[in-house]
Chain A
Amino acid sequence: MGKPTIPETEFTFPGSTGCPGCGANLVMRYLLKGLGERTILSIPACCWAVMPGYWPSTCLKVPLLYTAFEATGAAMSGLRAALDVKGIKDVTVVGFAGDGGTVDIGLQAMSGAAERRTDGIYVMYDNEAYMNTGIQRSGSTPWGAWTTTTPVGSTHGFKHEAKKDIMAIMQAHRIPYAATVSVAHPEDFIKKVAKAKEVKGFRFIHAMSPCPPGWRMNPMHVVEVARLAVDTHAFPLYEIESGKVRITRKGKGAPVSEYLRFQGRFSHLTDVEIAAIQKAIDENWQMLLAKEASGT
């Protein structure tokens, strides 16, 4: 057995009010293992606005500024400016937001912070819907998924719009570093976070965050589902360093049905619909390979 590469120090403590099997709990845990104690978090409305616990308690070993839903990027800029004006240099400013708070309501403030090259790391934990409010669709909900606002019925049924490609949006901002991470691959996760920490400027981490209640699945399958998301190329692991794409895990290219079958949110799909998802995933994967090959 090789030497363990995951730091033993914990910066999240028991007491998180997350649901059993919460993927976002693992995202926070691995993130802070990669960043260490000299970190200031800013968190908007999302599951993690509730999960640290009621005042005056917190389950985090780093300080935390709660902010308005759409304001994470602006809060990062404000924190960094104050630290700069006080001459405090060795602190990592982190915005930590859900997918709705990032690709929907928070997109403007994040785009502004990225354009201003605010020195900080923005982490989006992606559970693919507004889970804290009870499973409503977001711009990050994938095609085919059931949510409470995309109910499966006779006329419309499930979500008929594709998930926003937030990594492409951030790449278009010409930021120095962006990466996707998975709770099924903690070594890769922490390595990328540690790498991001050493980069100056605006950095972006897209973390897949399986949600047992929202995805209608058994909490015991969270890591397995996260792994299948990578293996089926539904959620490829890659990084974009100074504009150059590098896929960090090629995966087996397993059929997407393996990933979908654990999740009740996809249980209504017909074989034809699953084939359509497979086709879209294959096309995205080919596009990613082409980007990697062309160095963009």
Chain B
Amino acid sequence: MREVMTGNYASAYGAKLARAEVIAAYPITPQTSIVEKLADFVATGELKAQFIPVESEHSAMAACIAAQTAGARTYTATSSHGLALMHEVLTWASGARLPIVMTNVSRAMAPPWSVWVDHMDSIAQRDTGWLQFYCQSNQEVLDTIIMAYKVCESSGVMLPAMVVMDAFILSHTSEPVDIPDQALVDSFLPPYSPDLKIEVGKPMGFGSLVKPDQYMEFRYKAMLGMKASRDRFLRVEQEFKNIFGREHGGLLERYQCDDADVVLVAAGSVAATAKDVVDSMRAKGHRVGLARIRSFRPFPHDEVRALAGKVEGIAVLDRSYTFGAAGAMFTETKASAYSVQKRPVMKNYIAGLGGRDITPRILEKIFEDIQVVSKRGAEDEVEWVDVAGLPRRWR
């Protein structure tokens, strides 16, 4: 059934179709309509779940952790400062190997206050052991939530996942979205039944103290889980495609990359704009392409390496900045590209922070710039785009 809906509603439908059993959430702009919709689903009985209206995001994640430990499939959603407040318990969820799925509506961090999109909130959580999927459309948000449960709940993975969508650009913008048939989703995603859960009659400690001679083995196993999630994700998406007839491009979606001289690497909703720009530039004879980082964790090292071996220049657009280094998408893309024989010229463009529009014109100029620097090398490896007072004009 196709309906016109916002990214937030697509997210709520994703959690409903996945039959989340416990939902604990705290309101934050612009995530609120996700939990409002889920509260409605639970109130009307459309979704048989327990809804816990917690008093903070920290408690939202802590409640999900406890419920998931007791064998329930859980879901929550947050954004920005809410995600930052959760930080401590994000590491708890992954360390406890709990396949919790959460939507993060990516929003800039304060100060200064901003309710608009950038990726600093989720990028800052990259080392917490969560899978991270960045979405380009509302349909992808819904589909990725369902897929994420299946990826994360497989015994070789058992890690939590964050489905990231851009504030307002997706969260509050309506698009046609196909709501898959519940019976088909049920056939794709069986009920959650972990090997181990907390229950009476089994006196075990979950999360006990370990000594230095045991701790690293726990971390090593979590690393193996993250590593396994790569192939698991690709297989799950193939299975999803077989049942639902659509896919979203694997870990690194490549658009017009096969014969490209230069490519733009980006994540999130800006990729949709970039595809239009690729089309218009190709119409004028420029061999450009787009590679969309859909999965930031696990990072698509192999895909990036294969791409880097074929192109002369890679422009990486980061909608966040890691102070003291560069954009995180850039440093990771560069690290993956390092081992190819003939390395392309790479340059980082910091753009769209705090919800600033990244227009087709700006993307075109980034393509034009990488075309030039791919021939002669980049003078400045990191450039801030469309910032008042800087010499280059982007508009």
A40 B200 Cβ-Cβ under 8 A? yes
Would you list which residues of chain B between 317 and 337 have a CB under 8 Å from chain A?
none
Which of A78, A85, A91, A108 meets B55, CB within 8 Å?
A108
In the complex, the answer to whether B63 meets A77 with C-beta atoms within 8 Å is yes
Task: Kindly identify which residue among A38, A66, A78 contacts B206, using a CB–CB cutoff of 8 Å.
Answer: A66
Closest A residue to B24 by CB, please name it: A78
CA distance A112 to B25 in the complex (A): 13
Q: In chain A, what residue has the closest Cβ to B208?
A: A55
Interface size class of B (residues with CB under 8 A): 35 or more
Is A168 engaged at the interface, CB distance under 8 Å to the other chain? no
CB proximity of B78 to chain A, nearest CB, Å: 14
Q: Are A68 and B88 in contact (CB-based, < 8 A)? A: yes
| Inter-subunit contact B72/A82 (CB<8 Å) | yes
Inter-chain contacts of B269 with A (CB < 8 A): none
| 9-residue interface stretch from B46-54, B153-161, B271-279, B347-355 | B46-54
Taking CB atoms and an 8 Å cut-off, the chain B residues in 90-113 that contact chain A are 92
Convert A88-123 into 0s and 1s, putting 1 for each residue whose CB lies closer than 8 angstroms to a CB of B: 000100000000000000001101100110000000
Q: Write out the residue numbers on chain A whose beta carbons fall within 8 Å of the beta carbon of B24.
A: 74, 77-78, 81
**Would B66 and A58 count as touching, CB distance under 8 A?**
no
Q: CB within 8 A of A67: which of B56, B65, B72, B202?
A: B65
Q: Are A68 and B62 in contact (CB under 8 A)?
A: yes
* Chain A, Cβ-Cβ closest to B214: A55
> Interface centre among A49, A65, A109, by most B CB within 10 Å?
A65
* In the complex, B290 has a CB within 8 A of chain A: no
Q: Is residue B284 contacting chain A, with contact meaning CB distance below 8 A? A: no
B70 in the interface, Cβ–Cβ < 8 Å?
yes
The listed residue with most B CB atoms (<10 A of its CB), out of A39, A42, A83, is: A83
Q: Tell me if A84 counts as interface (CB < 8 A to partner B).
A: yes
By DSSP majority rule, is chain A's interface helix, strand, loop, or mixed?
Answer: mixed
B285 at the interface (CB under 8 A from A): no
Q: Which residue from B53, B58, B66, B201 sits with its C-beta under 8 Å from A79?
A: B66
Q: How far is the CB of A64 from chain B (nearest CB, A)?
A: 5
Q: Looking at A64, A85, A111, which has the most chain B CB atoms within 10 Å of its CB?
A: A85
Asked whether A71 lies within 8 Å of B200 as measured between CB atoms, the reply is no
- Per-residue CB contact flags for chain B residues 1-44 toward chain A (1 = under 8 Å, else 0) read 00000000000000000000110100000000000000000000
Determine how close the nearest CB of chain B comes to the CB of A21; give it in whole angstroms: 22
Whether, in the assembled complex, A195 has its beta carbon less than 8 Å from a beta carbon of chain B, the answer is: no
Q: Is the CB of A58 within 8 A of B207?
A: no
Query: What residues of B have a CB within 8 angstroms of the CB of A86 in the complex?
Result: 70-72
When distances are taken between beta carbons in the complex, the residues of chain B under 8 Å from A42 are: 66
Whether A73 sits at the interface, judged by CB under 8 Å, is yes
A78 touches B64 (CB 8 A): yes
**B209:A55 contact, CB within 8 angstroms:** yes
Min C-beta distance of A292 to chain B, whole Å: 32
Contact status B55-A79, CB under 8 Å: no
Cβ-based interface call for B181 (8 A): no
| Residues in A whose Cβ lies below 8 Å from that of B259 | none
Interface residue A50 (Cβ < 8 Å from any Cβ of B): yes
Bound Cα distance A220, B278 (Å): 80
One digit per residue, 1 when the CB lies within 8 angstroms of any chain B CB and 0 when it does not, for chain A 50-73 equals: 101111111011111111101101
Complex Cα spacing A64 to B198, Å:
8
Please tell me if A37 contacts chain B, counting CB pairs below 8 Å.
Answer: yes
User: Smallest CB–CB gap between B51 and chain A, Å?
Assistant: 8
Q: Which residues of A contact B208 (CB under 8 A)?
A: 52-58, 66
Which of A58, A73, A83 meets B203, CB within 8 Å?
A: A58
Cβ-based interface call for B69 (8 A): yes
**Which residues of chain B are near A73, meaning CB under 8 Å?**
59
Which residues on the A side are within 8 Å of B201 (C-beta)?
A: 37
- Tell whether B204 is near chain A: CB-to-CB under 8 Å: yes
A68 contacts B89, CB within 8 Å? yes
Encoded as 1 (CB less than 8 Å from any B CB) or 0, chain A from 106 to 147 comes to 001101100110000000000000000000000000000000
Task: Tell me if B199 counts as interface (CB < 8 A to partner A).
Answer: yes
Which residues of chain A are within 8 angstroms of B55 by Cβ–Cβ distance?
108-109, 111-112, 115
Choice from B50, B53, B60, B204 contacting A85 with Cβ under 8 Å: B50
B113-139 CB contact bits vs A (8 Å, 1 = yes)? 000000000000000000000000000
Minimal beta-carbon separation of B90 from chain A (angstroms) = 11
Determine if A116 and B53 form an interchain contact, defined as CB atoms under 8 angstroms apart: yes
- Cα separation A42 to B205 with both chains bound (whole Å): 10
B65 touches A75 (CB 8 A): yes
Which 9 A-B pairs rank lowest in CB-CB distance, beginning with the nearest? A78-B66, A112-B55, A66-B207, A82-B70, A74-B59, A78-B63, A71-B62, A81-B50, A55-B208
Given A63-B200, A63-B206, 14 new contacts (CB under 8 A):
A65-B66, A68-B88, A71-B89, A73-B59, A77-B63, A78-B62, A81-B72, A85-B48, A85-B49, A86-B70, A109-B56, A109-B62, A112-B56, A116-B54
- Residue contacts A-B, CB under 8 angstroms, 30 given: A37-B200, A39-B200, A40-B70, A40-B199, A40-B200, A53-B209, A54-B208, A55-B210, A58-B208, A63-B203, A65-B207, A67-B62, A67-B66, A70-B58, A75-B63, A77-B52, A78-B64, A78-B68, A79-B198, A81-B72, A82-B66, A82-B67, A108-B55, A108-B56, A108-B59, A112-B54, A112-B55, A112-B56, A112-B59, A116-B52
